[in-house]
Chain A
Amino acid sequence: MRRLLATVCLLLLTATFMYAQEVLRGAVKEDLTGDPIPGVTVFEKGSSNGTITDAEGRYELKVKNGQAILVFRYVGFSTTEQAGGGDVSLKEDVLMMDEVVVTALGIKSDKKALGYSVQRVGGDALTSSGESNMVNGLNAKVAGVQVISSSGSPGAASFIRIRGSSSLTGNNQPLIVVDGVPIDNSQNTGGNPDDGDNALLEGVSQSNRGADINPNDIAEMTVLKGPAAAALYGIQAANGAILITTKKGSTTGKKGVAVSYNTSMAWDQVNRLPKMQDQWSQGRFGLYRAPESGQSRSWGAMIDTLSWDNNSPDPTNPYQFDNHGAIVPSSDPSARQAVTPYDNVKSFFQTGLTTDNSLALSGGNADASYRFSVGNTHTKGVVPLSDWGRTTAKFAGEAKLSNRLKTAASVGYTNSGGSRVQQGSNTSGLMLGLLRTPITFDNSNGATDPKDQAAYLLADGTQRSYRGGGGYDNPYWTINQNPAKDQVNRIYGFTSVTYDITKWLSAFGRVGTDAYSDNRQQALAQGSATAPAGRLYLEKHNYRHLSSDLWVTAQHQFSEKFQGSLLLGANAFSKHYDKLYTQGDGFAIPGFNHISNMQSTLSRNYSENKKTAAGFLEAKMSYDDWVFLDITARKEWSSTLGKGNNSFFYPSANLGIVWTDAVGLKDNKILPYGKVRLSYASVGGDALPYSLGKYYQQSTIGDGWTNGVTFPMLGTAGFTTSDVLGSPNLKPYRNNTIEIGTDMRFLKNRIGFDFTYYRSKSVDQISSVPVASSSGYTNLILNAGEVSNTGIELTLNAAPIKTKNFHWDIQVNFTRNKNIVVSLPPGIESLFLGGFEGTSIRNVAGQPYGQIYGGTFVHDANGNLVIQDDPNQGGYGYPIEGKEEVIGNPQPKFLCGFQNTLSWKGLSLNILWDFRYGGQIWNGTQGALAFFGKSSITDQRDDPDHVFTGVGGHLDADGNLVSTGATNDIKAPLNQKWFEGNGGGFGNVAEHFIQDASWARLREVTLNYTIPTKVFEKTPIGGVNVGLSGRNLFLYTPYEGVDPETNLMGSVNAQGLDYFNMPNTRSFSARVGITF
C-alpha cells in the first residue's frame, strides 16, 4: 500500500510530455449492418490520447507512433483494438460487459471495474411509469431500495431508503445528485417551528423536494447503494446516493435541431378504502341522535327502523341538515319515507386527471452540444379542488473551447406547487371528517358540485356538519374554506471546466448550486374545528446551497497490463435554510385571507447554517483488465461539531476480480463471465447544527389538546430553557460497511444474476436522546448507540426468448434487509421517532429499526390473551390492559420486484409486479372508527354472550399474572361499551390494530409501440412512440385499511402509522412521444 502510493506520487512529479507525430484515420461501422457508428470513443491504448467518431463514423487521431494500437469503445458493442488505425467493424456485445455507469463525483466507469454494487434505471423506465415524482419511479426496480409514498394526494412526499436505516434519529435518506451536484430532497415541515415534527401528524402533506425534477429530463439514474460507492461524497451520502444524469444534446447525431415532444394524460382513482358499517345511524345506545345533538358516534338505531319525516318537504323551509327531512323512528306518525344510507366516501372522491407535456430541443457537433427543454405537469387530485403542478425549464450545454479546455453548464428552473389536502389527526383533516360521518348524514346535502355551499354552509352562515358544527369539519367545508396552497420557485445547476494539462494529467473544477423559495399560505376559515376564530398561516421557506469541487486526475500505464489513475480533490459545501412563519388568528373580514385582516399575529423565524470542507483522493489500479482495485480516502471538516472533534477521515477500498478472464473462460459459451467483488468502507457523519450547547428559546405553552399560548403575550416577552441540551464534546458518528458480491452470466448472457451481501454497523450515533425531565431537560444530544444492517440483494436477469424480432426479458429484484438497533444510549429503553402519545414509532434496543410501540393486552407465557377472571376487578370477562411495549414491526421481511418485458418489433409490453412480504402498520383509522361505531368491525356490536378467545387469569396486587391456563368461558358482552373502551382506538390498547401490510401489487403495466420510421420517411417526423400504461392496477393485501403504501408523516424515519391517512390511487395513462 505504502509503496504503491509512493509510486503514484512519484509519477505525478516525474512525468514527461509526449508529442504526437502521425495521424491515424478511419471509419467505424456496425458489423452486422455496415451502418456508420457515431460517438465511438477512439483512444491510443495506454494513454488518454483520444477522440470520438463523427456523424459518419469517421475519426482522426494524432499519435506518436504510426503503429500505435487504437482502442474502439462504444456502449453495447465489444471493445475492439486495432493497430495502425483504418476502418473498423464493431460487433454487438451480447454480454454487455462494457456497460458504463456513473459513479461518485459524476465520473463514468466501466461497470466491470467496480468492486461494489450499483444499479441503473433508464430515464425511459421513469417516464413510462407515469410517476411525476421521480423517487416513486424507482419503486421495485432496484434491489435494496425501498420507496414509500405517503399517499395518493397530489404532490405528496415519498420516503426512500437504501439498505435500511443507519441513523437512530437522523436522516436516513440517500443523497440525490444531479449531474454531479447534490440537490435538496427535504420535506420541509410546515407549522410553528416550535412544534417540530408534530406538525407532520396533522396539517397538509408537503412534497419531498425531489419532486421538482422533471423525469423527462432524466437520462438515467444510478443507485449507489453502499457507503463504499458513496465514500467520495462524504457525510451527506452516508445512506447511499442516487445519481441522476440528465439528458444532453448529442455530439454525434444528425445535423440541425432535434426536437422531441412527449405528452401524456393519466386518470387516477382511489384504489382502496377502509371497510365501514352501513346499518347503524348516528347516535348512542341504539337511539338515533340528530346532528343538532352534536353526537359524534354511529351507535344509533338500525337504519331500517328510521324514516325521514314529513315536516320538511316544504321547499321554503327545508330541514337544514337534510333535504329529505329530519329522521324519526318509522313508528312515528310523521314518518314519511324509509331512510336509505348515504355513501359519503364514494360520492366524495372524483377521478383525478394528470396531464404532462414536455418539449426538448437539442443538437450539437463534435465541439459543442446543447439541450433545452420545457415541461409542465398538472394533477387534479382525487380530492375535489386539490391539485399540484410543476413547470420546468432546463438548459444543458457543453463546449470544447480548445483541445485542452472543455466547459459544461446546466441550469434548471422549476415552479411547482398546488392546493394541498388537509390530513391526519387534524380536526380539519379530510379523511377524519369524512370517515366519521354517519351514514344518516349526507355531507354533500345533495349537491353535486363540490363547490356548492349548500353542502357545508347553513342558512346562518355557520358550518353544516354532522355534529351540528362542532368536533371536526365537513370535508366540503375543508376543501372550500381551508385552502392550503404552496408555490415553489427553484433554480439549480452547475458550471464546470475541464483542462487537460498534459496527456496524462487533467484538472476539473465545478461550482453547483440549488436554491429555492417555498411560499405557503393556509387559511382555516372562521368556524373551522381546528381554529374556530379562523386562522391564517403564512410560511416562507428559503433554501440554498453551494457546492464547489476541484480535482486533478492523473493516469499512467505502468506496463502493458498494469495501469492506474489517481484523483486528488477538494470540496467546499455550504447551505442555508430559513423559515419565516407567521400565524394570524381571528379574521376581521370573513373570507379575506390576508395577514392584514387578522386580529392577532405571531411570528417565528428559524434559520440554519452549515458548512463542510473536504479533501479526497481516489486511486484506481487495474491489472490485465480483470483485476480492479479502487482506494478512496476523504477527510472532512464540519461546522456542526466542536473544535478538535470536527474532522473525520474515512477510507474505502474495493476490489473486483473477473475470475473467468483469469482462468481463460472469457469466450466460454456456458459461463462467459463471472466476477467477485469485495468492498470495505468507513464513513463518518456530523451532528445537526447547534447541537453543542444549552440554549433558551421563546416560550410556546400548551398541552396535548389545545393550540396553547405563545409569547410574547400579555405585553411581555417570555423565554424558557430549551428542552434539548447539547453536548460540547460530540464526535462524529461512524458507519463501517463490508460488502461482497458476485456477478455471473451464463449461456451467452441469456441468464445471469448479481448477488450482494452486506453488513454495516453504525456506531457512536448522534441522537437526541430522551431523558427524565426531572433533570430539567427532555432530551440530550449525545454519542451513543449502534445500528446494524445486514442484507442480501439479488438481481436476476433472464432472456428466455431472444429471436430477431421477439424478445422476452425478465428481471427480478429481490431485497432482504435486517435493520437492527443493536444498542441505545445507556439507560434508554426506547427512542421516540414520531407518532402519538399512545401509539408511536420508536427505536428499541435489540429490535428492528422503527418499531410500533403502544398499549397491549396481557398475554401469558404462551402468547394467549388473558381474560379477566376475577369478578372483583374491573373488566370481568374482558382482556386485561397491559403495559406499553413493542406491538408491531413495520420492516418488511423482503421486497421483490418482478418485471417481464415482451417486445416484438416496435411493440413492447412491460409488466412490473411488486411483492412485499411482512411489515406491519398501526391501523389507527380502524381503531378510531371502531370507537365511533363506523368501522365494519363494529358490525358485531350487540353480542351479549360473547366469549373472548384466550385463557382466564388476572393480575395480583403486585401486578403479576395469575392464570391456570384454562380456556376462557366467561361471557362478556361485545357492544358499544367495549368498542368505546379498549375494543376501540381511543382505549389504552393498540395491539389489536396492528396489521400485516404485505402486498402483491401490479405496480406497472406499460404497452409501448414505436411506429416504424419508414412511415415517416417523407415527413419531418423522426419517430413516433405511443404508450398506454396502468399503475397499481391490482393490489392484494391483508391490510384492512387504505393501500398500505402510505404513511402519516410522509418522508420521515417514523414509518408504519395510519391515522386517517389519505388513500392511494390507481391510474391509467396514455402517452405519445414524437421526435423531429
Chain B
Amino acid sequence: MRTLKYIHFALLVGLLGLTSCSKYFGDVNTDPNRPTDVTPTVLLPSAEVFYAYGMQGDVTRFTSLLMNQVYGADRQFATYQVYSITETDTDNWWKLNHYGGAMMDLKNMIDYAKTGKQIHYMGIAKVLMAYGLMCATDLMGDVPYSEAFQGLDELQPKYDTQSQVYDSIHSLLNQGISNLADPTSAVVEPGSEDLVYGGDLGQWTKLAHVLKARAYLHLGKRNPANYGLALTELAGGFSSAGDDARLIFGETETSAAPWYQYNDQRGDIVFESFVTDTMLALSDPRYYAFYDTSAGWLGSYFNSTSSPYFFASYVEQMFIIAEASFETGDANTAVTAYLDGIQASMARYGVVADSTFTADILSETSASLTLEKIMFQKYVALYLDPEIFNDWRRTGFPRLTPNPDALTPGGVIPTRLPYPQSERLFNPNMPANNSITSKVWWDI
C-alpha cells in the first residue's frame, strides 16, 4: 500500500500545473440543456398535452378499434384488429405520456406548489392527477398510485387495488375542490398557459365534480348507491358546453392533433364502421360530421390539426345523468337528459336533425326509454372518446359483434388493455394476469 502512496504522490507532482481540480473543472458538468428547477407555469400545459395526446392518440385508437368505431386496415393496425394487442403496444403511452409523462409532472407540480404556496395550481394538479389515475385504472385494473412517483425511494411501487385507486381518485378530487376554493392567492396564479380553462378556477371545480360523478358511475355495479352519488355530484357540474374541459390542438404540424397526425402519417385505420353504418341507417345528421363521404375518410371536426380533445364534456354529463337517473328509477329525468345529450352533441357539430331522426330518436319518451338506447346514443355522442369502452364493459351496450378473425380465446372483444412491458420487466408487483380478456374489478 505504501507503494501506491508513493505513486499517487508522484502523479500529483506531475499535475502541479493544475493548481486545483475544482477550479479546473469549474461548472463543466452543469447541464446547459436542462434546468434543475421549473415552475408550475411550464409543467401545467405540458401535463395537459401529455394527457390529451396520449389519450386521443394511442389509447383512443385502441378503444375505438375495439368498440367498432374504426377499423384497423393495414400493417400493425390490421394485427390489432384481430385483437392481438400485447404489452409492448401500451408501453410508449404508459411510459412517456401517462405515468412517466403527465402524472409525474403533476406530482412535481403538487410538491412545487406546496413550497411556493401556489395552492390553486395544486388544486388543478390534483384534479388532473385524479383524471389520469382513473384513465389508467379503467383501462388496466389495479395500478400503482400510493407508492408511485417516488423516484429512487421506491423503484417498484406496489399496485393498489382498483377499489383503493377509486378511493384515491375521490380523495384527490375532494382535496382539489377544496384547494381551488382556497381564498389565498399567490404571486403567480394559473392563467393563459392553462390550455384547458385559461386559469378559470370555477371551471376546474366543475370538472372535479363531473369527474367524481364519472367515478361513481363506473362503480355503479359494485354499489347501486353510486348512481345517486353521481347525480348529487353533478349539481356542481357543468352548466353548459361552455364548461367543456377540452384542449384544442394547434394549427401547425408540430402542434397538430393526434388523429390528424396519425391519418396523415400512417393512415392504417379506416372510418367506415359499425357506428357510421348504423348512423346512416338512422339518418343521424352527425354522420356527415363523423364521416367525410367525399373523401371516404374521418370528418374534419376530428381530422384537423386543431381538433379538440375532451377530458370531460357537457354531453357526457347529460348521459351520466340519463343513465344514473334511469338506474335509480327516475325515467323522466333520464329521458330529458338523454334528449339534451343528443341535442348538445348535434350542437357541437353544428348539425340539425331531419324528420326521420326527429321522429325516430328525438321523440323518445320516458315510457320507451331503455338503458340500451341511452348507451347507444352515448356511444354515438362520444364518438372516438375512450369513455365508451368503459360504458360498453359496464353495461354491455351497444351490442357489438367481435371480429370473426379474432385471435382472443373464444374470439371475444378484449375487456382491458395489457399492462406495459416495462412494468412487467421492472416491477415485480405487477399482477401476473395480464390477459386482455380478463376483467377489471368494477367490470362485473
Contact = CB atoms under 8 A, between A and B. Distances in A.
B421 A715 contact: no
Contact of B261 (A706, A827, A931): A706
Contacts of B17: 550, 570, 572
Contact of A635 (B2, B11, B34, B410): B11
Contacts of B7: 5, 617, 633, 635, 649, 651
Contact of B254 (A585, A605, A982): A585
Interface string B96-109: 11011101110110
A332 interface: no
Interface in B239-260: 248-250, 252-256, 258
A530 B206 CA distance: 41
A773 B261 CA distance: 26
Interface in A499-548: 529-533, 535
A718 B50 CA distance: 10
A872 B84 contact: no
24 contacts: A568-B13, A616-B14, A634-B11, A689-B31, A702-B53, A706-B57, A710-B255, A716-B192, A718-B49, A719-B38, A720-B105, A723-B95, A772-B157, A773-B94, A774-B148, A776-B104, A776-B107, A776-B150, A837-B88, A874-B406, A981-B84, A981-B407, A982-B84, A987-B79
A340 to B, nearest CB: 28
A649 B8 contact: yes
Interface in A681-710: 689-690, 692-697, 699, 701-710
Contacts of B43: 718-720
Contacts of B175: none
B428 interface: yes
Q: Which of B193, B262, B265 has the most CB of A within 10 A?
A: B265
Given A633-B11, A640-B29, A774-B423, A827 B156 contact: yes
B157 A775 contact: yes
Contacts of B42: 716-719
Q: 9 smallest A-B Cβ distances: which pairs? A: A615-B11, A718-B46, A772-B427, A615-B14, A773-B100, A600-B252, A585-B253, A706-B261, A695-B34
Q: Which of B78, B88, B150, B154 has the most CB of A within 10 A?
A: B88
A776 to B, nearest CB: 4
Given A639-B28, A703-B57, A706-B266, A599 B96 contact: no
Contacts of B350: none
Given A770-B425, A772-B423, A703 B258 contact: yes
A470 B7 CA distance: 68
Interface stretch (A356-364, A414-422, A606-614, A942-950): A606-614
A770 B426 contact: yes
Contacts of A829: 425-426
B329 to A, nearest CB: 39
Contact of A778 (B4, B31, B96): B96
Contact of B3 (A1, A635, A699): A1
Given A637-B21, A709-B49, A714-B250, A776 B151 contact: yes
Contacts of B94: 773
B306 to A, nearest CB: 10
Contact of B86 (A646, A770, A988): A988
B253 A707 contact: yes
A725 interface: yes
B10 A780 contact: no
Given A611-B25, A693-B36, A296 B422 contact: no
A607 B33 contact: yes
B348 interface: no
Contacts of B406: 874
Given A699-B46, A772-B156, A709 B82 contact: no
B14 A535 contact: no
Given A611-B25, A706-B261, A695 B35 contact: yes
B405 A977 contact: yes
A704 B58 contact: yes
Nearest to B35: A696
B183 interface: no
A583 interface: yes
B252 A837 contact: no
A617 B31 contact: no
Given A775-B156, A884-B86, 18 more contacts: A193-B33, A585-B253, A609-B28, A616-B11, A649-B7, A703-B93, A709-B49, A714-B249, A719-B42, A720-B43, A721-B104, A772-B144, A773-B94, A773-B422, A773-B423, A778-B100, A827-B426, A987-B79
A761 B220 CA distance: 59
Contact count band on B? 35 or more
B49 A986 contact: no
Contacts of A701: 46, 49-50, 53-54, 96-97, 101
A510 to B, nearest CB: 14
Contacts of A616: 11, 14
Contacts of B267: 294, 470-471
A634 B94 CA distance: 46
B111 to A, nearest CB: 11
Contact of A530 (B21, B149, B265, B428): B265
Contact of B409 (A602, A609, A776, A873): A873
B278 interface: no
Contact count band on A? 35 or more
Interface in A1-32: 1-2, 5, 9
A931 B256 CA distance: 31
Contacts of A855: 86
A707 B410 CA distance: 37
B399 interface: no
Contact of A713 (B58, B255, B423): B255
Nearest to B83: A874
Given A776-B148, A884-B88, A533 B253 contact: yes
A741 B101 CA distance: 53
A705 B265 contact: yes
Contacts of A614: 11, 15
Contact of B148 (A694, A775, A874, A988): A775
A707 B426 contact: no
Nearest to A726: B31
B359 interface: no
Contacts of A987: 79, 84
Interface in A716-767: 716-723, 725, 727
A714 B8 CA distance: 58
Interface string A616-655: 1100000000000000011101011001001101010000
A828 interface: yes
B15 A570 contact: yes
Given A2-B3, A721-B104, A774 B157 contact: yes
Contacts of B430: 772
B76 interface: yes
A770 B422 contact: yes
B79 to A, nearest CB: 6
A934 B22 CA distance: 62
A639 B254 CA distance: 36
B408 interface: yes
Nearest to B42: A719
A260 to B, nearest CB: 41
Interface string A425-457: 001000000000000000000000000000000
Contacts of A710: 254-255
B150 A771 contact: no
B273 interface: no
